[in-house]
Amino acid sequence: MAQKLQTVRGIRDLLDGEIATYNRMIDIGSRIASLHNYDEILLPIFEYSSVFLRTLGDASDIVNKETYTFSDRDKRSLTLRPEFTAAMVRSLISNGLTQEMPKRFFTHGPLFRHERPQQGRYRQFHQFNCELFGSNSPLADVEIINILYLILSEFGLEDKIKIEINSLGDKESSEKYTEVLRQYLIDNIDRLSEISKERVAINPLRVLDSKDDRDIEVISKAPSIEQFLTSESLEHFSNVCANLSLLGIKYNINRRLVRGLEYYTHTVFEFITDKLGTQKAIAAGGRYNDLIESMGGPAIPAIGFAIGIDRIHELLQVYQLNKTNKNHTCYLIPIGNTAEVYGFNLALKLRQKGIKVAFDYNLSTKKRLKIADREGYSLCLIFGDDELKNGEFIIRNMNISQEKRVPIEGLDKALIQFLSM
C-alpha cells in the first residue's frame, strides 16, 4: 500500500502567515543587526559531528539524544546543525578570521533537534542569530541584549515578554558551584522527580530548570551561584545590569537561570513568555568566553543570542499581531469582459508603481468576492462598464468593510494611501 504523504513528525511546512513572520524576522533582524555593524554569514546545514558533539557539552540533552547524526557515503559522521553558535565558531576558525577581532556576524535558517514535538517545539525550527566575537566589555553584553530587545520591539512584543538574566561566572566558579549544588541535591535526592534524580549525576545545573513541583520545592532552598562568583564576575554582571537599566530595558535577575548548552560563562539571559505552555523562552543567549579556544582557536571572548522564529510566530498569533502576506494587497474585481481586459493592463501599470496587485481570470464576481475574503486581501478594486465610462472605481477596504469611489486619475496614489493604513 502506498505510504500516506505527510511530513516527518515534528517537521512542518511554513505557509502563508508563518512565512510572513519568517520574512519579517529576516528583514527586521538583518536591518537592525546591520545598523550595529553585523555582517551576514550563511552557514552549512550540516557539519562534521565533532563541531557540535565536542562543544555543546557531553551532558547536554542536545548532544545526548537530540542531534540528527548520520554517516555519509564516505563513512564520515555528520550532524544536522542543532544550533548556530558552534558552527559560527567553526567558520571563524576555518576561515582564518580569528586574527581580525572584533567581528560581528548574524545568520538565520533552519535547525534540527530530535526533541519531543509539542506547541512551540519542533524537530526542524528556525532562528535568527547574532554573535559578537572579541570583546569582553560588559557593553558588548548590553549591545547584544539591546539588539534582541530592538528586534522584538519592532514586532510590538517588548511589553509582552520578560527578560531573565544571570551570571554563571568563569568556568572555575561554575564548576565549584556545580559540585556544591550536586552535593545539596544528593542530600535531598528522595524529594526530587525521577528525571532530576538522573540529572544529579550527569548535570546538576539542569535540575534548576525543572518545572516539576517536587524539584521546585528543593531548588528553592538550594545554594545560589552568586556566592561563588569572583569579584570580577560580580563587577562585570553589575555593569551589564546598570547599563541595561540606563537603556530603560527591564529585566529580572534570576539566580537559578542556567542554560541547556554547556559552553556558557558569565552573562546568560532568556526572553520568556507564559503564553506558549511549557515552552517559555522565545529567545536566549549568553557569553561563551572559552568556546573558541576549546575548538582549537585562540582565546577569544564572545557573546550572542538566538531568537526562535517559530515561537515568535505563535506569540504574535496569541496577541493578534501577526500579518499575512495578503495584507497590503489590492485585488481587482472586474465585472464583464471589457473590464477584465482593462483590469489586466491596469494590474501591470499599478505593479509598475510598486503596488501589490492580485488578479484572477475568468471568474464570476461572486467567486472573486469569496476569494478576496478567504485570502484576506486588504483592498478590492471593483469596476464594470459603468465605472469605466464614468472614470470612477470603487475601492472596498476589506478590513473595515467600507467603500469609496475614486477617480481613475490619482488611483495609484489613493491605493498607496489605503494600503499603508
Chain residues that interact with ligand HAM, rule: CB under 6 A: 83-85, 113, 115, 120-122, 125, 127, 129, 131, 260-261, 281-286, 304-306, 308, 310-311
User: Residue 334 corresponds to which cell in the numbers above?
Assistant: 472586474
Nearer to ligand HAM, 85 or 378 (CB): 85
β-bridge mates for residue 334, sequence order: 383
Beta carbon of residue 185, minimum distance to ligand HAM (angstroms, whole number): 23
CB of 286 to ligand HAM, least distance (A): 6
Q: Toward ligand HAM, which CB reaches closer, 287 or 326?
A: 287
Q: For the sheet containing 77-80, what is the strand order?
A: 46-48, 77-80, 69-71
CA–CA distance, 71 with 78 (Å, rounded to integer): 6
Closer Cβ to ligand HAM, 60 or 98, answer by number: 60
Q: What is the closest distance, in whole angstroms, from the C-beta atom of residue 306 to ligand HAM in the complex? A: 4
Q: How far is the CB of 228 from ligand HAM (least distance, A)?
A: 22
Please report how close the Cβ of residue 288 comes to ligand HAM at its closest, in angstroms.
6
When the beta carbons of 304 and 334 are compared against ligand HAM, the nearer one is 304
- Lay out the sheet containing 392-397: strands in order across: 357-358, 330-334, 379-383, 392-397, 402-407
Q: Which residue is nearest to ligand HAM (CB)?
A: 308
Q: How far is the CB of 61 from ligand HAM (least distance, A)?
A: 10
Contact (Cβ atoms closer than 8 angstroms) between residue 184 and residue 223 = yes
CA 317, distance to chain mean position in Å, is 15
In terms of CB distance, is 260 or 297 closer to ligand HAM? 260
Q: Which is nearer to ligand HAM, 261 or 380 (CB)?
A: 261
In this complex, which beta carbon is closest to ligand HAM, that of residue 153 or of residue 327? 153
Sort strands 39-40 and 302-308 into parallel, antiparallel or unpaired: unpaired
Residue pair 40/50 in contact by the 8 Å Cβ criterion: no
**Cα–Cα distance between 61 and 200 in angstroms, integer?**
14
Mind giving me the DSSP string for 37-99? TPEE----SEEETHHHHTTS-TTSHIIIII--EEE-TT--EEEE-S-SHHHHHHHHHHTT-TT
For residue 120, the minimal CB distance to ligand HAM (Å) is 6
Residue whose C-alpha is closest to residue 394's, from 413, 411, 378: 411
Residue 92 and residue 111: Cα distance in Å, rounded?
19
Torsion sign across C-alpha atoms 18, 23, 27, 33 = positive
Whether the Cβ atoms of residue 327 and residue 144 lie closer than 8 Å to each other: no
Q: What is the DSSP letter of 190?
A: G
Q: How far is the CB of 186 from ligand HAM (least distance, A)?
A: 27
Nearer to ligand HAM, 51 or 281 (CB): 281
Q: Which is nearer to ligand HAM, 284 or 330 (CB)?
A: 284
Q: How far apart are CA 272 and CA 149, in angstroms?
A: 12
Q: List the beta bridge partners of residue 331.
A: 358, 380
Distance in Å, CB of 35 to ligand HAM, minimum: 19
